[in-house]
Amino acid sequence: MSAPTPVTGNTKPSLTGVRIKQRKGVAKATAKFEPEVFRDALLSHLLPIPPTQYDLIATKLITAGSTLEFLKYSDALFEIVFVGGILQPGGSYVEDGKTERSPFAIIGGKDEIEGTAVAEGADQKDILAEVTQKVEVMKKVIQRYKYLQKPLEQNVLPALLQYIIKWTPLQREKVADAAAMLIAQGFATGECLLALTKDHLVKDSISLSFLTHFIRAYLTFQNMEHLSRLLRSSFKDIILVFPQSKRTRAALDAHFKAEGLPQVAEWYGKRQTVLVKEELTRWMTQACEEDEFTEEWVENALGHVATQQVENSLPTSDVLSISWNALMASFDWAGRSDQFAKIKTFFPVLAPFAKKPLEQVNLLQIVQVYCYDEQKAMKSFPSLVRILWEADLVSDNALIYWFDKGAKPQGKEYFVKSVQALYDHVTEESDDEEDE
C-alpha cells in the first residue's frame, strides 16, 4: 500500500459543496432591470389615493421608497411623477398592454383625469398653483431620499425637455412651471435648459414658448438678477431658442415685451451691448496695430464699425470710446516721436461719429479720461485737443462748452488749465466774428 500524500504548506483547502451567500447589495446590483415591474409596484401604491390628496401621496411615496428601489429606477420614478408613466427613447409611453397612467402627475389635472380636455385658456395662476402643490410632493420625496436629486437634474429633466414636442401646449406649460420651481429652489440646475436649443424643438417655436413660460414661472420664485445668472450659465445665447428666421435682437426684444417680460428684453440688450463692445474693442485694437492707416484700411474699419453700430444699436459715445482707446493702445507714449502724425491718419474713422456738438464734447471727455488714466499721456492732452480742433473733429462751440461746464471730474482743473490758450484763442475769434 502506498503512503498517503503529505499535506504541504502550499496546498489550499477545497470549498467544494460550500454555499456562499451573496451580499444583499450585490444581489440588487446584478438583478434584472425591470422598469415595468417597478411601475406596476409604484402604481399599486398611488392608484387607491385621490390625486389631490397631496400630503397622503407624499407620505405613500416616502413609505414606498423603503421597499422599492428608487435609486435603481430613479428615471422611471420621475417619469411617472412628471408624465404618469414610463417613457421609451423618443418620448412615447412604454405600451405593454397596460394603458393605465398614474392619477398623480405633473402634466395631469383634475379635468384630464376625469377624461375631459383642459381649456388652453385656463388661468395661468391656477395652473401654477396646482403644479406648485405637486412639486412640493416631489420635493418631500427628494429631501427624504437625497440621492434622487442627481439623476433628476442630470438624466430626467434633460430627457423630458427633449420630448416636450410630444405633449400639448398646456402640458408643456406645466412641465415648464415644474422645472422653474425645482431650479429656482435649488433642487436642480439649469443645465437641462440646453436641450431647448435642439433643432426639432426650435423650428416650430416650441422651445421659445416653453422658455417663455419657464421664465414667467421662475420670476415668481426669484428676481431678475437670479434669472440672469441662470440664463448666462445655461445658454451660450438665449437667442438660439428662436427659429432661424427670428434670431435678431429686435425680434427677441419684441417677443418678450409682447409677453409682458420687458425686463428680460432689457437684460438681453444690455448683455449683448457688453459682448459687442468687447468684440469690437478686440477687433479695433488688433486692427490699430497696423503701421499705417491707409485709405483701404480706413474704409474697411468704417464699414465694420458702422455695421456693428447699426445691428446692435450701439450709442455713438460707445463707438467713439472704443475707437479712441483702441487707437491709443497701439502707441508707445514713451518712445514714439511720430505719434501725432499717425493719430491724424486715424481721424477719418472718428469723423462720422463726431459730427454733432454733443458727440464732439463727448470725444473731448473720452480723451480727457484716457489721458487721466494714462499718466504718460497727460502732458500731451493740449496737443491732442489742438489737432482734433484743427481737423474739425471738435468745433469752437464744443470746445467752449467742454471748457466751461462739460469737463469730467477726473483731473478737471489740470486739463482745463492746459487748454486755456486755445480756449482764449477760440473765444477771441468768436467775439471778433460777433463784432463784425
Residue 200 confidence (pLDDT): 92
Q: Looking at the structure, do residues 375 and 403 belong to the same domain, yes or no?
A: yes
Position 4 confidence tier, pLDDT thresholds 50, 70, 90: low
Tell me if 9 is assigned to some domain.
Answer: no
Tell me if 420 is assigned to some domain.
Answer: yes
Tell me if 27 is assigned to some domain.
Answer: no
Q: Looking at the structure, do residues 184 and 72 belong to the same domain, yes or no?
A: yes
Residue 282 clears pLDDT 60, i.e. is over it: yes
Position 240 confidence tier, pLDDT thresholds 50, 70, 90: very high
Residue 254 clears pLDDT 60, i.e. is over it: yes
Inter-residue contact 280 to 305 (CB < 8 Å)? yes
Residue 104's Cβ-count burial label (10 Å; 0-12, 13-18, 19+) is buried
Least confident residue range of 110-124, 239-253, 352-366: 110-124
Position 113 confidence tier, pLDDT thresholds 50, 70, 90: very low
pLDDT tens readout for residues 362-397? 999 999 999 999 888 888 899 999 999 999 999 999
Q: Looking at the structure, do residues 45 and 191 belong to the same domain, yes or no?
A: yes
Give me the number of domains the chain comprises. Answer: 3
Residue 152 clears pLDDT 60, i.e. is over it: yes
pLDDT tens readout for residues 155-191? 999 999 999 998 899 999 999 999 999 999 999 999 9
Residue 3 confidence (pLDDT): 54
Residue 55 clears pLDDT 90, i.e. is over it: yes
- 328, 329, 330, 332: CA torsion to nearest 10: 80
Q: Looking at the structure, do residues 343 and 361 belong to the same domain, yes or no?
A: no
Q: What is the mean pLDDT of residues 234-249?
A: 91
Q: Looking at the structure, do residues 189 and 282 belong to the same domain, yes or no?
A: no
Position 120 confidence tier, pLDDT thresholds 50, 70, 90: very low
Residue 175 confidence (pLDDT): 93
Tell me if 290 is assigned to some domain.
Answer: yes
Mean pLDDT for all residues in the chain: 85
More confident residue, 112 or 69: 69
Q: Looking at the structure, do residues 271 and 154 belong to the same domain, yes or no?
A: no
Residue 92 confidence (pLDDT): 82
Last residue of a domain, one of 321, 347, 373: 347
Residue 294 confidence (pLDDT): 84
Residue 117 confidence (pLDDT): 38
Residue 116 confidence (pLDDT): 35
Position 115 confidence tier, pLDDT thresholds 50, 70, 90: very low
Residue 125 clears pLDDT 70, i.e. is over it: yes
Q: What is the mean pLDDT of residues 287-293?
A: 77
pLDDT tens readout for residues 295-329? 888 888 899 888 888 878 788 999 999 999 888 88
Tell me if 235 is assigned to some domain.
Answer: no
Q: Looking at the structure, do residues 46 and 101 belong to the same domain, yes or no?
A: yes
Residue 407 confidence (pLDDT): 93
Tell me if 266 is assigned to some domain.
Answer: yes
Least confident residue range of 102-111, 243-252, 407-416: 102-111
Residue 80 confidence (pLDDT): 92
Q: Looking at the structure, do residues 188 and 285 belong to the same domain, yes or no?
A: no
Tell me if 359 is assigned to some domain.
Answer: yes
Closest CA to 215 of 187, 190, 245: 190
Q: Looking at the structure, do residues 307 and 329 belong to the same domain, yes or no?
A: yes
Q: Looking at the structure, do residues 298 and 371 belong to the same domain, yes or no?
A: no
Tell me if 294 is assigned to some domain.
Answer: yes
Q: Looking at the structure, do residues 122 and 140 belong to the same domain, yes or no?
A: yes
Residue 34 confidence (pLDDT): 87
Angle, helices 54-64 vs 124-144, to 10°: value is 30
Distance CA 154, CA 191 (A): 8
Position 97 confidence tier, pLDDT thresholds 50, 70, 90: low
Residue 94 clears pLDDT 90, i.e. is over it: no
More confident residue, 342 or 388: 388
Q: What is the pTM assigned to this prediction?
A: 0.73
Name the percent of the chain lying above pLDDT 70: 85
Residue 205 clears pLDDT 70, i.e. is over it: yes
Last residue of a domain, one of 153, 178, 195: 195
Q: Looking at the structure, do residues 359 and 327 belong to the same domain, yes or no?
A: no
Q: Which range of residues forms the domain containing residue 313?
A: 262-347
Q: What is the mean pLDDT of residues 405-410?
A: 93
Distance CA 195, CA 188 (A): 15
Last residue of a domain, one of 195, 224, 254: 195
Residue 29 clears pLDDT 60, i.e. is over it: no
